[in-house]
Amino acid sequence: MNSDPHSPRLVLPVGVRDHTQGSAKATVSLVEYGDYECPYCGAAYPIVKEVQKRMGVKLRFVFRNFPLGNMHPHASLAAEAAEAAGAQDKFWEMHDMLYENQDALAKNDLLGYARRIQVDSPRFVAALTGHEFAERVREDFLSGVKSGVNGTPTFYINGIRHNASYELEVLMQALEAAAAPGRH
Amino acid sequence: MPAGTPAPPFELKCTPDQTVSLSDFRGRPVVLAFYPADWSPVCSDQMSLYNELLPEFEKHNAVLFGISVDGIWCHGAFARDRKLHFPLLADFEPKGRVSHLYGAYLDKDGESGRALFVIDKKGVIRWSYISPTGVNPGAEGVLAALESLEADGGRK
């Protein structure tokens, strides 16, 4: 899978504001812009888990929010819930919970997930009710738009938009190619 | 349609009893998004994306119109289904006339192409982009064009 030299680039580099899995020294970074209520993102969720398993320490995974709130009425609040859990160092627990329960993302459901992962403090409830993380979610969204995200999920491999499919084998091939020596 | 060309004037229906005329929006930047068809998957993504960006367009005081050869009733149903909060204009009769004027009509398909135009407040085309029909062009070009209009405006 040759990467297209004209493919759009990430305008906001991976940094301290991001939620990441894997080492900062990994040879390959995979950034996903996703929407918790988007069925395609739901389909990509186990694929990402699998590539993380296969790539091991070579891969660093980053998730950024890209909720299409008009089409998916629960997506924005779900994204805020993940950020609010993230403020208590449980972003990935909530992220996984949301993708594993995509058909139940109303506010009460979100509070239930918060209980299950033990972040249901008054602070979490207040963050959700007061939309404390709405601006942060919007920052992610706009950074995506400016980087050429045009639908979800959109992936970037080492900062370059992955235009091919995100089927397991296709994505693996692109990641392996990016990890190969002499490609940096 | 190169930058610097005056935008061809038009008047199109947006609802059964309302029309939109480009000249009504003189004084504000206008974004025109020609697209092939209501309901087709790529267009829906594209229009949904623009829908989410309306607050950004508003920051630039810009108005956005989607344009395809679909009729107003089809547009109405599509906009309701996708909860679109911007007008879709029907380039329906004579079919594709405005798309032709903008060089954005695909004769072989009988549809508008996927073409974007940013028109400044004086009615001059300042940026345009024609995307392959199957590719969602996203919004980064439009936003960058609106930002540069503002920067130019500040200098003058």
* pLDDT attached to residue B156: 46
- Report yes or no on A168 lying in a domain: yes
pLDDT tens for A91-130 read: 999 999 999 999 999 999 999 999 999 998 899 999 999 9
User: What CATH code is carried by the domain that includes residue A40?
Assistant: 3.40.30.10
Q: Letter for the amino acid at A71?
A: M
The answer to whether residue A70 scores a pLDDT higher than 70 is yes
User: For chain A, what is the domain count?
Assistant: 1
Among B56, B83, B138, whose Cβ lies nearest the Cβ of A149? B138
Decide the pairing of beta strands A154-157 and B105-106: unpaired
- Report yes or no on A1 lying in a domain: no
* pLDDT attached to residue B1: 77
Does the annotation count B74 as an active-site position?
no
Average per-residue pLDDT in chain A? 94
- Report yes or no on A34 lying in a domain: yes
- Greatest alpha-carbon pair distance for chain A in Å reads 51
Residue A4 banded pLDDT, cuts 50, 70, 90 = low
- Angstroms from A145 CA to nearest CA on chain B: 6
- Report yes or no on A83 lying in a domain: yes
Rounded CA-CA distance B126/B147 in Å is 12
Rounded CA-CA distance A34/A27 in Å is 23
* pLDDT attached to residue B152: 79
Domains of chain B and any CATH numbers: 25-155 (3.40.30.10)
CB contacts of B84 in chain A (<8 Å) are 70
pLDDT tens for A165-175 read: 999 999 999 99
Chain A contact probe: residue of B58, B140, B147 with most A CBs at under 10 A: B140
pLDDT tens for A135-151 read: 999 999 999 999 999 88
* pLDDT attached to residue B154: 52
The answer to whether residue A2 scores a pLDDT higher than 50 is no
CB contact under 8 A, B139 and A68: no
CB of B112 closer than 8 Å to CB of B106 = yes
CB contacts of A149 in chain B (<8 Å) are 138
- Report yes or no on A182 lying in a domain: no
* pLDDT attached to residue B132: 87
Which residues of chain B carry a pLDDT beneath 70? 43-44, 154-156
CB of A151 closer than 8 Å to CB of A162 = no
CB contacts of A144 in chain B (<8 Å) are none
ipTM attached to this prediction: 0.85
Q: Which of residues 30-49 of B touch A (CB under 8 A)?
A: 45-46, 48-49
Would you give the distance in Å from CA A65 to the centre of its chain?
Answer: 6
- Report yes or no on A6 lying in a domain: no
Domain with A52, as residue range(s), is 19-175
Percent of chain A exceeding pLDDT 70 equals 96
